[in-house]
Amino acid sequence: MKPRLPLIVLAVAVLARSAYADALDEVRRLDSEIAVATWSGDAEWFEENLTDDYMLITPGGTIRTKRDVIRELATPGLKMEPYEPHDVNIPLYGHAAVVTGRMLQRF
């Protein structure tokens, strides 16, 4: 009887890589959606898709919570031009992801 441990380890590694790729794809999709929701002022998207402990760190280092972002989107007269994030990096840490990148946004 041949040892099956290498096959089991390989199967677990393949499944883990697949789950990692799926999670990364999901975070990329959400990152793209959040860009559109931000410049279009879609507060409902933020309400439905972000956890209550969501944090946004602005270029100036200010921390914005989910509630802060939703409140700011409701500011009368706030207008933003569409933008596309670039140089996006998404490391996954267990059940958490940290999305970093660059964008040029005009108000």
Return the structure tokens found at 60: 């100036």
Whether 53 has a pLDDT exceeding 80, the answer reads yes
Q: What are phi and psi of 14, to 5 degrees?
A: -65, -45
In this prediction, residue 8 carries a pLDDT of 45
In this prediction, residue 82 carries a pLDDT of 79
Q: What is the pLDDT of residues 71-106, one digit of tens each?
A: 988 888 877 777 778 898 998 888 888 888 887 766
Q: What is the pLDDT of residues 19-43, one digit of tens each?
A: 778 888 998 998 889 888 888 888 8
pTM comes to 0.70
Contacts 24+ apart (CB under 8 A), 82-85: 82/36, 82/39, 83/35, 83/39, 84/35, 85/31, 85/32, 85/35
